Structure 1
């Protein structure tokens, strides 16, 4: 058995949102190392130029295209620009997310609710639909939605964020069931506590960390690269019989 070909992404084009740092960037680097042509996207083009340049210096084929995923027209332009650059889309990773509030759910404003749902749920929905014609034409299409353990069990202080991630899990299963006939696999990853800027409010809180460590089988914070490795499995032929799956990478927190 040739394991290198099993996990290879040669001749594949991957589009990753929220990819200028953290989990998204780690996934981009792993995919590029596996041979994929990668489009990284986030809101600021300047940051994308810098991060894409870092990966190109390693010999990878990476392009940065700015996009605010909460804007319908921006998503359409992102897909058009990706196809113009690489002629196809084989892998889509919906990683971009937001959480502008932390605290009791009853203190969450309607404006914050709408923003969370727009970015964390509506954007993956619209982007999957926009990519559908290209994924359907691929010989090995894969969609990976980055949810959260909060989508499995609500996290304190992250009420509507948890709701959005639970809905993303359900959306993943719906698309997996409907797109199976089109040979498009759709799976989700639920990271636990990962050392990223996005999660800094959690891992920098000593009291919270002490409580969480008591509940974890692997008593440490996860690294973005560990989510990247899980994403590679789901993007590659190694998971060719896997769809509708919810993969937790949380150190055993949800056991």
Structure 2
């Protein structure tokens, strides 16, 4: 990640820590309910099991229960087949992925989501290169990433630094075939009129320009040298489309990042060896948004980074491209865009999305004042 004064990181800061046990109601979310439904009432397999049970009871074909069960199972099967065909037509045949023969490049991989993805691939035997601007001592690298991960301190928002690192990665590990862009800047949480131009520029450089440099530098290697092709993963955010108040720089950069990914997908659509995966998530439990509280835990739960990392790795290993949106409400973002303006305003008011940042800042300041009262008094003076 791009920063003028990179913080010092230690292995202790990246190791998982115990957290207080959460009540059972914390896990009751829209995603949980949909997951249960997909494996029960909305599963074609379960629907045909019901048909077989009715058949075992010698239910006559003219019986309403038999007709409804067969019609329901057939409808679910057709929907499942249509989904598979749609994905195949839109994104082509999946490429073969063998973790042991892949070289994985992860930006922003010294913490949060990037760190988890790096660790997962390291455990699977892949060659992993991690890029980040944080300071990690050579002795701490094995504890943080594992023995088979190579760490390169690099400002991904600086093209020259990326070009220098490219040569080192190629010499030590080979040509990267899986590129996962997780680098992101911390949010400022300021309104447009109070946002310094330097802060806006820094966010755009880290979230958007860094991706532009990354793909321009590393994609040619996949196209020319990788026989089995490669996968490009862009980690963006639904905030690029929802654009909450107080996140002008972050939302603008993420909207541009998603647009950049879709443009690349259009340019490489004819090459079946190149797979593009766009990941647009809601709020994750990472330091980027640790002081922001989601407006509704039921509809928009805070994602655990390990859950997102697991979904990304599974999608990459399947060899497919496409769009991965988490949690469930994120899949409805495109529908939100076509709603009438008045309905959008009502939805924003009910969700509280435009008050989340300001409320988070107020709570953060109150907690800071409670923890450091002397510091707050000095500021007041």
TM-score by length of 1: 0.83
Counterpart for residue 63 of structure 1: 150
Counterpart for residue 172 of structure 2: 85
Q: Contact 1:75–1:127 at 8 Å: present in 2 too? A: yes
CA distance in 2, matches of 1:155, 1:34: 38
Instruction: Say whether 1:74 aligns with 2:137.
Output: no
Match of 2:267 among 178, 191, 198: 178
Structure 1's 48 and 14: CA in aligned 2 closer, same or farther, altered over 3 A?
A: farther
Query: How large is the Cα RMSD of the aligned pairs?
Result: 2.1
Aligned length: 234
Cα deviation digits, residues 67-111 of structure 1 (max 9, x gap): 011211111112121111112110111111113521212322221
TM-score by length of 2: 0.57
Instruction: Say whether 1:123 aligns with 2:210.
Output: yes
Counterpart for residue 309 of structure 2: 228
Instruction: Say whether 1:239 aligns with 2:319.
Output: yes
Instruction: Say whether 1:190 aligns with 2:280.
Output: yes
Q: Residue 185 of structure 1: SS of its match in structure 2? A: strand
Q: Contact 2:187–2:289 at 8 Å: present in 1 too? A: no
Q: Give the stretch that moved more between structures: 61-70 or 182-191.
A: 182-191
CA distance in 2, matches of 1:185, 1:254: 21
Q: Determine which structure has more spread, i.e. the larger CA radius of gyration.
A: 2
CA distance in 2, matches of 1:201, 1:189: 23
Q: Contact 1:41–1:48 at 8 Å: present in 2 too? A: no
**What is the Cα deviation at residue 54 of structure 1?**
3.5
Q: Residue 101 of structure 2: SS of its match in structure 1? A: coil
**What is the Cα deviation at residue 39 of structure 1?**
0.8
Structure 1's 48 and 226: CA in aligned 2 closer, same or farther, altered over 3 A?
A: farther
Q: Contact 2:157–2:213 at 8 Å: present in 1 too? A: no
Q: Contact 1:20–1:48 at 8 Å: present in 2 too? A: no
Counterpart for residue 252 of structure 2: 163
Counterpart for residue 229 of structure 2: 140
Structure 1's 67 and 118: CA in aligned 2 closer, same or farther, altered over 3 A?
A: same
Q: Residue 201 of structure 1: SS of its match in structure 2? A: coil
Q: Contact 1:82–1:88 at 8 Å: present in 2 too? A: yes
Match of 2:325 among 248, 251, 255: 248
Q: Contact 1:27–1:227 at 8 Å: present in 2 too? A: no
Q: Contact 1:116–1:164 at 8 Å: present in 2 too? A: yes
Q: Contact 2:281–2:330 at 8 Å: present in 1 too? A: no
Q: Higher relative contact order at CA 8 Å, sep ≥6: structure 1 or structure 2? A: 1
Residue ranges of structure 1 left out of the alignment (5+ in a row): 1-5, 203-207
Counterpart for residue 35 of structure 1: 125
Q: Which portions of structure 1, spanning 4 or more consecutive aligned residues, are displaced by more than 3 angstroms?
A: 51-55
CA distance in 1, matches of 2:236, 2:155: 19
Q: Which has the higher helix share?
A: 2
